[in-house]
């Protein structure tokens, strides 16, 4: 059954695919697991539904006509109301550049077809279990001039500048800031942020670090060449 979020509400899932058979398969299995489900066959319709439905998770196909999944994901990530929404890309494409493009626009996971319903449901359930576990730990970190609040997924810089981050970027920042000056390898960060049950490229960490630096500046997260990343406790 679906793992309950900290708000005790049933998680909502939006399924987006132009293949009606896949939509029907996913919808059936998600409802069976106890999720509230809505579906869309185009990127444009997905954006329209997501704006009012505010799903906890979006399963998004990449290869769709007119507005493909990558562009749809990019537009979804621009909606502040969806900053805490997980996006899992589903695709028949296995090229590395497609996976990198997905994470560039804020993907939380990348799953290749053909879809194995039981395995997919296990990954989704694990994702929501981790969400519930995180909600039980400390909610706020104050370091340098940043206030990082996990209860409402907000980052405030310099006392008044609010910065909106997609969920995985936020979780990566929060994790590093919790233990400043400790170096984590890419593999460790993948395990801690994405989980052992989700396969993503090590390069995914680099993409998210680069995006954090673009939004926050370079002085917070330091690179130890050949080792990994750490949050610096010293202002430059």
Across the range 36-41, mean pLDDT stands at 96
Chain length of the chain: 236
How far apart, in whole angstroms, are the C-alpha atoms of residue 192 and residue 177? 14
Could you count the other beta carbons within 10 Å of the beta carbon of residue 100? 16
CA distance readout (Å), 133 to 89, 136, 139, 180: 24, 5, 12, 22
Task: Identify the band that residue 112 occupies on the pLDDT scale cut at 50, 70 and 90.
Answer: confident
Taking 60 as the threshold, does the pLDDT of residue 4 lie above it? no
Q: In percent, how much of the chain has pLDDT > 90? A: 48
Question: Which stretches of 96-150 are assigned E, i.e. beta strand?
Answer: 109-112, 140-143, 146-149
Taking 80 as the threshold, does the pLDDT of residue 136 lie above it? no
Could you count the other beta carbons within 10 Å of the beta carbon of residue 86? 23
Tens digit of pLDDT for each residue in 200-233?
677 888 989 999 999 999 999 999 988 899 998 8
Could you count the other beta carbons within 10 Å of the beta carbon of residue 30? 24
Q: Which domains does the chain have, with CATH numbers?
A: 12-135 (3.40.50.2300), 140-231 (1.10.10.10)
Helix (H, G, I), strand (E, B) or coil at 99: helix
């Amino acid at each position: 059954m679906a793992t309950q979020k900290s708000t005790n509400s049933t998680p909502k899932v939006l399924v987006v695919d132009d293949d009606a058979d896949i939509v029907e398969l996913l919808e059936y299995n998600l409802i069976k697991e106890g999720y509230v489900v809505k579906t869309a066959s185009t990127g444009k319709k997905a954006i329209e539904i997501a704006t009012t439905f505010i799903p906890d998770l979006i399963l998004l196909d990449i290869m769709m006509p007119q507005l493909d999944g990558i562009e749809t994901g990019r537009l979804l990530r621009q909606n502040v109301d969806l900053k805490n929404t997980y996006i899992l890309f589903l695709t028949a494409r296995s090229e590395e550049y497609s996976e990198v493009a997905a994470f560039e626009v804020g993907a939380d996971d990348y799953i290749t077809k053909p879809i194995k319903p039981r395995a997919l449901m296990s990954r989704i359930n694990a994702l929501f279990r981790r969400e519930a576990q995180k909600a039980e730990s400390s909610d706020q970190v104050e370091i340098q001039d940043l206030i990082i609040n996990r209860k409402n997924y907000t980052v405030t810089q310099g006392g008044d500048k609010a910065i909106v981050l997609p969920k995985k970027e936020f979780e990566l920042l929060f994790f590093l800031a919790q233990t400043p000056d400790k170096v984590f390898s890419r593999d460790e960060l993948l395990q801690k942020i994405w989980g052992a049950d989700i396969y993503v490229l090590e390069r995914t960490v680099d993409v998210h670090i680069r995006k954090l630096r673009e939004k926050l500046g370079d002085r917070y997260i330091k690179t130890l060449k050949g080792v990994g990343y750490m949050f610096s406790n010293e202002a430059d």
